[in-house]
């Protein structure tokens, strides 16, 4: 079915039924997931699905309806609901749709081969990664391996004449295992994602990391409550990013609900803090030619060598702030309105090797796992659970579990004094390993 | 057919579905099957719908396998946002679909379709049967309708409520929040309701259909002080008609939320390290939901990875500690009449006086660990396979007096409310973030402290709970485990000895 035509026709219909402006967003896709455990297939899930979201504006009032039935009657019904719902919302002159007809050219987002590879080969791959992860004798149980894939198409049309379509594919491979010793249990897991089957990381690499994460944490020792340097391993650096992401959301900024709201152009972190949002890398796992409402994506520097440079906007919030959309409209699928969110959001790599960062640390904590909500985007406070390794005289001496770390965004961003070269851009949110001068650690 | 006007009353789904049949792409389903969706409205010839379902189930088991199931779902939802004084958006959702599942040994095959047609269901059955190829097959029992007790009562159905009523409820909350204190600079009111209809039919001959209303009302308020800001939150939720708001007043929720926002403007740095924690009754039960509940879900027991493997019948907690998962509490957020596999809801005591007596199961894990089905097989929608989930989970009421528990705690942290947390079910290490907490000094609640993380090990915590109050209360929430599920968590006031508190200053 030609969904672009369906979308364009539907936009016209919205206008005919009384909308001043309208947008239709259609998603259509297929997904497959395979779970394997103990060498056997545990679950196979497969489905194709689709749906449409209709956004209408009547005299500045906005409403939305979605349906996963693309039959004419069902869509008419959804349209009627949206128009009716637009009567109850508040008019706002900022309620507008984008008109930028451009597309950001990005290669490698769709691999038509994924769907053609036989199911058996995918099952074999999941079995293989599980087997590899179980190879080490310290690994005693499997928590399963998973292969997943999805391919789909997004269509956006609006009454400003915008009509865009983009196809993409993605696949992922992961495994999770348990190491046991006496009464102790320790879990480790790793996954990787890519746009193409052939770009998945080698199963050996992913499996070895899952196993290592599990057995390395056996025999933890208690640690006293103290202040010490804290190294965030590249695996957990994202814990720093979530709160910043919330704080550079243009709507939160306008609402006064961001700790970065009035810091534009100011130095908020050390020289090593360069934070980027990029929707454009070739084959990028978070790349797309246009955002959730059709605005071309871009690469945007949020923090440049410690100086706050930009917030993120979708079309409506940008108009309210008197700026241009940054192409950061995101949707949680066809059932939701576009909010504001990142593409690939990452802290730029530094030059140090992980070993050198450890070597340069007299005493300190190397964090391998962080739990909790990260930095609070409203006030910048941070508190989280942590486990990892204790470092003395530049060497890892023992694993530690059940600790807490706490501080403020200010302390953390300004305290970053070393950054590693180990940035992994196969993740949507990524940082290299970095060391923070001093944080409060809670333990015994 | 033209829809020229819309009353507050939803188009009855019967009509909606019949209309769908007349046009559109491919909706040529047996109408009898669709009519089955109309809970409480008997179809003209229900046996036709049953026969359609029997055919799909037989097809699902044609390659082998011992359990086949069809799950059909229809959902209408409304979501309205009032923020910064404006009704910013109104979102209407219509979703329908069906999933077919096959279980063969430890294997599960699943496929779903957005189109509820016989042809698409048969195709889904084919895909789902993949895992069972070449295994022994059973002869499915023909489905037969079953009536079950309901734990959900509705006075004013959501379908009959005019949108103006929804707006009025939201506005009452919004205004009450802003009126609470001049330092409340913004209020955000999120209103959500849905009506979800289900049909569950399986190869054991089960046929059930019902309709579940759900309300979820979230108030957030931003308090702005001289040096800091705090976003407060309060949530109301029930499976209920709109009458929920007669009992749970939107103004009260707003004031509770605003109070938190203001109090926390004075928060000081929390101390770091191990200390005693007193947790106020209510949503704090999310701590045991995470720390103990998830590890008690039988999927990780069947995999032999969980922290409670091999501990059934053993003493795992302080004898004052009894923990229950009860999906029958009237109209609670975690309640349904039966789970999404059709297993009857019940009160399941999991830990009795410190002794582990039961795991929560779904159909698959119950078979794997040879235990009863407890009614914990739930799914987010027809797009998801059912997995073991909690319903309303709580620490049962004890005998201690809440004020005495506090008075007898010399120093530590008093946690009035928690945001939420997570657990690693393998090693049992959990974490939570406090929303509102205070220092305890000489048995008294004193200075508010900034949102600290609480972290610990599940077994240590249930050993360390040494006082359990008589003031059991609950709060509504969302549980994430790959899929979202609506749950309630509860507890009386309790004291936990020696939890690690993630403060930002040394004691």
Q: What span, in angstroms and rounded, lies between the C-alpha atoms of B220 and B454?
A: 23
Give me the residue from B108, B112, B455 closest to A404, CB to CB: B455
Contacts of A407 in chain B (CB under 8 A): 504
Q: What span, in angstroms and rounded, lies between the C-alpha atoms of B79 and A89?
A: 12
Of A156, A186, A215, the residue at which a domain comes to its end is: A215
Instruction: Report the pLDDT value the prediction gives residue B41, as an integer from 0 to 100.
Output: 47
- Return the HEC string of B387-454: EECCCEEEECCCCECHHHHHHCCCEEEEEEEEEEEEECCCCCEEEEEEEEEEEEECCEEEEEECCCEE
Instruction: Report the pLDDT value the prediction gives residue B146, as an integer from 0 to 100.
Output: 87
Contacts of A39 in chain B (CB under 8 A): none
CB atoms within 10 A of CB B336: 23
Contacts of A141 in chain B (CB under 8 A): 303-305
- What integer best gives the mean pLDDT of chain B? 89
B95 in reach of chain A (CB within 8 A): yes
Instruction: Report the pLDDT value the prediction gives residue B451, as an integer from 0 to 100.
Output: 84
Give me the residue from A51, A187, A383 closest to B453, CB to CB: A383
B130 in reach of chain A (CB within 8 A): yes
Place of tokens 């000895």: B497
Do A34 and A176 lie in one domain? The reply is: yes
Do A17 and A132 lie in one domain? The reply is: yes
Do A444 and A311 lie in one domain? The reply is: yes
Residue B48's pLDDT band (cuts 50, 70, 90):
low
Nearest CA-CA distance, residue B229 and chain A, Å? 6
Residue B507's pLDDT band (cuts 50, 70, 90):
confident
CA distances from B207 to A138, B201, B236 (A): 47, 4, 32
Contacts of B93 in chain A (CB under 8 A): 65-67, 335
CB-CB under 8 Å, B224 with A45:
no
Question: In sequence order, which residues have a C-beta less than 8 Å from that of residue A163 and are 6 or more positions away?
Answer: A4, A7, A8, A155, A156, A157
CB B290 within 8 A of CB B297: no
Helices B46-60 and B118-128 cross at an angle (nearest 10°) of 30
- What integer best gives the mean pLDDT of chain A? 95
Instruction: Report the pLDDT value the prediction gives residue B46, as an integer from 0 to 100.
Output: 58
E strand map for B253-400: 272-279, 323-326, 347-352, 355-356, 377-378, 387-388, 392-395
Instruction: Report the pLDDT value the prediction gives residue B9, as an integer from 0 to 100.
Output: 33
CB B200 within 8 A of CB B379: no
Contact residues, B window 243-262, toward A, CB-based 8 Å cutoff: none
The pLDDT of residue A309 is above 70: yes
Residues in a beta bridge with A146: A35, A174
Place of tokens 């795992």: B316
**pLDDT above 90 as % of chain B:** 77
Q: Residue A129: give its domain's CATH number.
A: 3.30.2290.10
Instruction: Report the pLDDT value the prediction gives residue A50, as an integer from 0 to 100.
Output: 92
Contact residues, B window 341-380, toward A, CB-based 8 Å cutoff: none
Do A155 and A228 lie in one domain? The reply is: no
Of A215, A230, A253, the residue at which a domain comes to its end is: A215
Contacts of B419 in chain A (CB under 8 A): 373
The pLDDT of residue A367 is above 60: yes
DSSP state of A117: S
Q: Which is more confident, A346 or B481? A: A346
Q: How is residue A432 written in tokens?
A: 């290299």
Distance of CA B275 to the CA centre of its chain: 31
Nearest CA-CA distance, residue A270 and chain B, Å? 21
Instruction: State which residues form the domain around A371.
Output: 220-444
The pLDDT of residue B4 is above 70: no
Q: Count A/B contacts: CB-CB distance under 8 Å.
A: 277
CB atoms within 10 A of CB B5: 7
CB B253 within 8 A of CB B171: no
Place of tokens 């959501």: B158
Residue B285's pLDDT band (cuts 50, 70, 90):
confident
Q: What span, in angstroms and rounded, lies between the C-alpha atoms of B57 and B191?
A: 38
Residues in a beta bridge with A145: A36, A175
The pLDDT of residue B8 is above 80: no
**Mean pLDDT score, A89-110:** 94
For B249-261, how does the pLDDT look when each residue is reduced to its tens digit (9 = 90+)?
Answer: 999 999 999 999 9
CB atoms within 10 A of CB A32: 21
**Mean pLDDT score, A306-327:** 97
Do A226 and A148 lie in one domain? The reply is: no
Give me the residue from A51, A72, A185 closest to B23, CB to CB: A72
For B303-346, how does the pLDDT look when each residue is reduced to its tens digit (9 = 90+)?
Answer: 988 889 999 999 999 999 999 999 999 999 999 999 999 999 99
The pLDDT of residue B69 is above 90: yes
The pLDDT of residue B33 is above 90: no
Comparing alpha-carbon positions, the chain A residue that sits nearest to B429 is: A402
Nearest CA-CA distance, residue A197 and chain B, Å? 22
Best mutation site among B130, B188, B453 for testing chain A: the one with the most A CBs within 10 Å? B453
Of A170, A190, A215, the residue at which a domain comes to its end is: A215
Place of tokens 């088991």: B61
CB-CB under 8 Å, A187 with B115:
no
Residue B76's pLDDT band (cuts 50, 70, 90):
very high
Question: In sequence order, which residues have a C-beta less than 8 Å from that of residue A286 and are 6 or more positions away?
Answer: A278, A279, A342, A343, A344, A345, A428
Instruction: Report the pLDDT value the prediction gives residue B367, as an integer from 0 to 100.
Output: 97
CB B375 within 8 A of CB B343: yes
Q: What span, in angstroms and rounded, lies between the C-alpha atoms of A137 and A179?
A: 9
CB A151 within 8 A of CB A114: yes
CB-CB under 8 Å, A406 with B111:
no
CB-CB under 8 Å, B127 with A88:
no
CA distances from A241 to A274, A275, A377 (A): 12, 9, 10
Best mutation site among B226, B232, B273 for testing chain A: the one with the most A CBs within 10 Å? B273
**Mean pLDDT score, B411-415:** 96
Comparing alpha-carbon positions, the chain A residue that sits nearest to B434 is: A383
Q: What span, in angstroms and rounded, lies between the C-alpha atoms of B82 and A92?
A: 13
Cα three-residue angle B169-B173-B176, rounded to 5 degrees? 135
Instruction: Report the pLDDT value the prediction gives residue B45, as an integer from 0 to 100.
Output: 53
CB-CB under 8 Å, A383 with B502:
yes
Domains annotated on chain B, with CATH: 13-184+187-213 (3.30.2290.10), 272-502 (no CATH)
Contacts of A76 in chain B (CB under 8 A): 1, 3
DSSP state of A293: T
Instruction: Report the pLDDT value the prediction gives residue B28, as an integer from 0 to 100.
Output: 31
Contacts of A69 in chain B (CB under 8 A): 20, 24, 27, 94, 96, 114-115
Distance of CA B59 to the CA centre of its chain: 33
What interface predicted TM-score (ipTM) does this complex get? 0.93
Do A335 and A292 lie in one domain? The reply is: yes
The pLDDT of residue B20 is above 80: no
Total domains in the fold of chain A: 2
Do A334 and A364 lie in one domain? The reply is: yes
Instruction: Report the pLDDT value the prediction gives residue B415, as an integer from 0 to 100.
Output: 96
Nearest CA-CA distance, residue B460 and chain A, Å? 11
The pLDDT of residue B428 is above 70: yes
Closest CA to A437 of A226, A225, A229: A229
B106 in reach of chain A (CB within 8 A): yes
CB B331 within 8 A of CB B248: no
**Mean pLDDT score, A258-277:** 97
Closest CA to B109 of A46, A274, A252, A64: A46
**Mean pLDDT score, A331-344:** 94
Contacts of A259 in chain B (CB under 8 A): 229
Instruction: Report the pLDDT value the prediction gives residue A49, as an integer from 0 to 100.
Output: 87
Contacts of B501 in chain A (CB under 8 A): 404, 442
CB-CB under 8 Å, B94 with A69:
yes
Nearest CA-CA distance, residue A78 and chain B, Å? 7
Do A81 and A137 lie in one domain? The reply is: yes
Best mutation site among A33, A119, A404 for testing chain B: the one with the most B CBs within 10 Å? A404
Residue B353's pLDDT band (cuts 50, 70, 90):
very high
CB atoms within 10 A of CB B472: 19
For B174-229, how does the pLDDT look when each residue is reduced to its tens digit (9 = 90+)?
Answer: 999 999 999 999 999 999 999 999 999 999 999 999 999 999 999 999 999 999 99
What global pTM score does this model have? 0.92
Do A204 and A239 lie in one domain? The reply is: no
CB-CB under 8 Å, B502 with A385:
yes
Comparing alpha-carbon positions, the chain A residue that sits nearest to B220 is: A257
CB-CB under 8 Å, A187 with B305:
yes
Contacts of A143 in chain B (CB under 8 A): 303, 305, 426
CB A122 within 8 A of CB A145: no
Exposed / middle / buried, residue A112 (Cβ in 10 Å: 0-12, 13-18, 19+): exposed
Place of tokens 């089960």: B206
Residue B47's pLDDT band (cuts 50, 70, 90):
low
**Mean pLDDT score, B13-18:** 33
Residue A299's pLDDT band (cuts 50, 70, 90):
very high
CB-CB under 8 Å, B92 with A85:
yes
Rg (CA), chain A: 24
For B432-480, how does the pLDDT look when each residue is reduced to its tens digit (9 = 90+)?
Answer: 899 999 999 999 999 999 988 999 989 999 999 999 999 999 999 999 8
Q: What span, in angstroms and rounded, lies between the C-alpha atoms of A341 and A324?
A: 15
Contact residues, B window 428-487, toward A, CB-based 8 Å cutoff: 429, 431-433, 450-453, 455-457
CB-CB under 8 Å, B16 with A406:
no
Comparing alpha-carbon positions, the chain B residue that sits nearest to A57 is: B89
Do A234 and A344 lie in one domain? The reply is: yes
B26 in reach of chain A (CB within 8 A): yes
Residues in a beta bridge with A430: A346
CB B397 within 8 A of CB B474: no
Q: What span, in angstroms and rounded, lies between the C-alpha atoms of B189 and A143?
A: 40
E strand map for A159-306: 163-181, 184-194, 226-232, 275-278, 299-304
Give me the residue from B108, B419, B456 closest to A42, CB to CB: B108
Give me the residue from A81, A187, A255 closest to B426, CB to CB: A187
CB-CB under 8 Å, A90 with B89:
no
Closest CA to A59 of A24, A83, A25, A23: A83
The pLDDT of residue B13 is above 70: no
Give me the residue from A49, A62, A76 closest to B114, CB to CB: A49
DSSP state of B63: T
Q: What span, in angstroms and rounded, lies between the C-alpha atoms of A268 and A248?
A: 12
Do A183 and A118 lie in one domain? The reply is: yes
CB atoms within 10 A of CB A437: 17
CB-CB under 8 Å, B127 with A371:
no
Place of tokens 């430890």: B106
Instruction: Report the pLDDT value the prediction gives residue B108, as an integer from 0 to 100.
Output: 95
DSSP state of B37: T
Question: In sequence order, which residues have a C-beta less than 8 Å from that of residue B82 and are 6 or more positions away?
Answer: B88, B167, B170, B171, B174, B187, B188, B189, B191
Contacts of A379 in chain B (CB under 8 A): 228-230
Do A233 and A94 lie in one domain? The reply is: no
CB atoms within 10 A of CB B124: 28
Nearest CA-CA distance, residue B456 and chain A, Å? 6
Instruction: Report the pLDDT value the prediction gives residue B399, as an integer from 0 to 100.
Output: 96
CB A39 within 8 A of CB A61: no
**Mean pLDDT score, B118-129:** 93
Question: In sequence order, which residues have a C-beta less than 8 Å from that of residue B473 and are 6 or more positions away?
Answer: B281, B282, B490, B491, B492
């Amino acid at each position: 079915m030609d969904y672009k035509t369906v979308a364009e026709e539907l936009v016209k219909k919205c206008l005919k039924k009384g909308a001043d402006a309208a947008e239709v967003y259609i998603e259509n896709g297929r997904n497959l997931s395979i779970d394997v455990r103990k060498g056997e297939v545990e679950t196979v899930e497969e489905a194709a699905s689709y749906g449409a979201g209709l956004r209408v504006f009547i005299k500045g009032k906005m409403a939305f309806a979605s349906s996963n039935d693309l039959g004419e009657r069902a869509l008419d019904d959804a349209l009627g609901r949206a128009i009716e719902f637009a009567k109850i919302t508040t008019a706002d002159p900022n309620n507008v749709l984008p008109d930028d007809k451009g597309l950001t050219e990005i290669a490698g987002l769709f691999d038509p081969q994924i769907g053609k590879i036989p199911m058996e080969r995918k099952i074999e791959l999941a079995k293989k990664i599980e087997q590899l992860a179980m190879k080490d004798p310290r690994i005693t149980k499997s928590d399963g391996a998973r292969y997943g894939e999805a391919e789909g198409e997004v269509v956006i049309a609006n009454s400003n004449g915008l009509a865009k379509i983009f196809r993409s594919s993605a696949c992922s491979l992961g495994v999770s295992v348990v190491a046991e010793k006496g009464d102790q249990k320790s879990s480790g897991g790793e996954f990787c994602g890519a746009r193409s089957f052939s770009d998945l990381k080698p199963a050996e690499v992913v499996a070895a990391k899952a196993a290592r994460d599990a057995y390395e944490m056996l025999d933890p020792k208690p640690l006293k409550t103290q202040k010490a340097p804290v190294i965030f391993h590249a695996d957990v650096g994202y814990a720093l990013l979530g709160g910043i992401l919330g704080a550079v959301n243009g709507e939160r900024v306008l609402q006064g609900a961001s700790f970065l709201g009035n810091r534009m152009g100011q130095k908020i972190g050390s020289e090593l803090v360069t934070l980027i949002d990029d929707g454009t890398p070739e084959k990028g796992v978070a790349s797309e030619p246009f955002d959730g409402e059709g605005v071309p994506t871009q690469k945007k520097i949020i923090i440049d060598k410690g100086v706050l440079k930009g917030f993120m906007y979708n079309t409506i919030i940008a108009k309210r702030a008197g700026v241009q959309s940054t192409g950061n409209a995101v949707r949680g699928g066809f059932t939701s309105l576009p909010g504001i969110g990142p593409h690939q959001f990452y802290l730029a790599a530094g030059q140090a090797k992980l070993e050198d960062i450890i070597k340069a640390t007299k005493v300190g904590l190397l964090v391998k796992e962080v739990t909790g909500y990260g930095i609070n985007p409203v006030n910048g406070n941070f508190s989280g659970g942590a486990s990892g390794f204790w470092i003395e005289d530049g060497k890892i001496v023992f694993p530690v579990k059940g600790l807490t770390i706490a501080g403020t965004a200010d302390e953390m961003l300004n305290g970053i004094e070393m950054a590693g070269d180990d940035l992994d851009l196969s993740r949507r949110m990524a940082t290299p390993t970095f060391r923070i001068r001093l944080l409060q650690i809670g333990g015994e | 057919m033209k829809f020229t006007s819309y009353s507050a009353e939803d188009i009855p789904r019967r009509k909606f579905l019949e209309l769908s049949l007349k046009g559109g792409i491919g909706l040529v389903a047996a109408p009898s099957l669709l009519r089955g969706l109309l809970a409480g409205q008997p179809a003209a010839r229900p046996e036709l719908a049953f026969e359609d379902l029997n055919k799909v189930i037989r097809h699902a088991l044609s390659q082998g396998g011992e359990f086949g199931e069809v799950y059909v779902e229809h959902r209408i939802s409304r979501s309205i946002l009032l923020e910064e004084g404006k009704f910013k958006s109104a979102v209407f959702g219509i979703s329908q679909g069906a999933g077919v599942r096959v279980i063969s040994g430890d294997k599960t095959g699943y496929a779903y379709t957005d189109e509820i047609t016989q042809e698409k269901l048969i195709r889904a059955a084919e895909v789902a049967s993949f895992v069972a190829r070449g295994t022994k097959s059973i002869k499915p029992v023909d489905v037969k309708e079953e009536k079950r007790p309901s734990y959900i009562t509705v006075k004013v159905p959501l379908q009959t409520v005019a949108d103006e009523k929804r707006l009025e409820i939201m506005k009452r909350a919004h205004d009450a929040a802003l009126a609470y204190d001049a330092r409340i600079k913004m209020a955000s009111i999120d209103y959500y309701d849905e009506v979800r209809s289900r049909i569950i039919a399986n190869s054991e001959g089960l046929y059930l259909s019902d309709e579940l209303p759900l309300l979820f009302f979230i108030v957030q308020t931003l308090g702005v002080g001289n040096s800091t800001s705090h976003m407060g939150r309060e949530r109301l939720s029930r499976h209920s008609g709109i009458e929920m708001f007669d009992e749970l007043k939107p103004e009260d929720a707003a004031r509770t939320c605003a109070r938190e926002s203001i109090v926390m403007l004075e928060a000081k740095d929390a101390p770091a390290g191990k200390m005693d924690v007193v947790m106020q009754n209510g949503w704090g039960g999310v701590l045991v939901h995470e720390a103990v509940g998830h590890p008690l879900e039988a999927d990780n027991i069947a995999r032999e990875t969980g922290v409670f493997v091999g501990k059934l019948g053993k003493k795992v907690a302080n004898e004052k500690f009894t923990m229950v998962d009860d999906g029958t509490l009237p109209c609670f957020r975690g309640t349904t009449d039966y789970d999404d596999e059709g297993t009857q809801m019940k009160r399941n005591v999991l830990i009795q006086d410190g002794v582990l007596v039961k795991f929560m199961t779904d159909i698959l894990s119950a078979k794997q660990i040879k235990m009863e089905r407890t009614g914990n097989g739930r799914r987010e929608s027809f797009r998801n396979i059912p997995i073991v989930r909690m319903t309303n989970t709580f620490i049962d009421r004890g005998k201690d007096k809440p004020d005495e528990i506090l008075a007898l705690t010399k120093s530590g942290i008093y946690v009035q409310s928690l945001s939420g947390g997570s657990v690693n079910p393998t090693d049992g290490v959990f974490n939570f973030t406090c929303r509102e907490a205070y220092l305890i000094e000489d048995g008294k609640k004193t200075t508010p402290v900034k949102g600290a993380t609480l972290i610990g090990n599940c077994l240590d915590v249930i050993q360390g709970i040494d006082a359990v109050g008589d003031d059991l209360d609950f709060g509504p929430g969302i549980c994430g485990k790959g899929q979202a599920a609506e749950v309630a968590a509860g507890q009386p006031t309790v004291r936990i000895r020696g939890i690690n508190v993630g403060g930002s200053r040394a004691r």
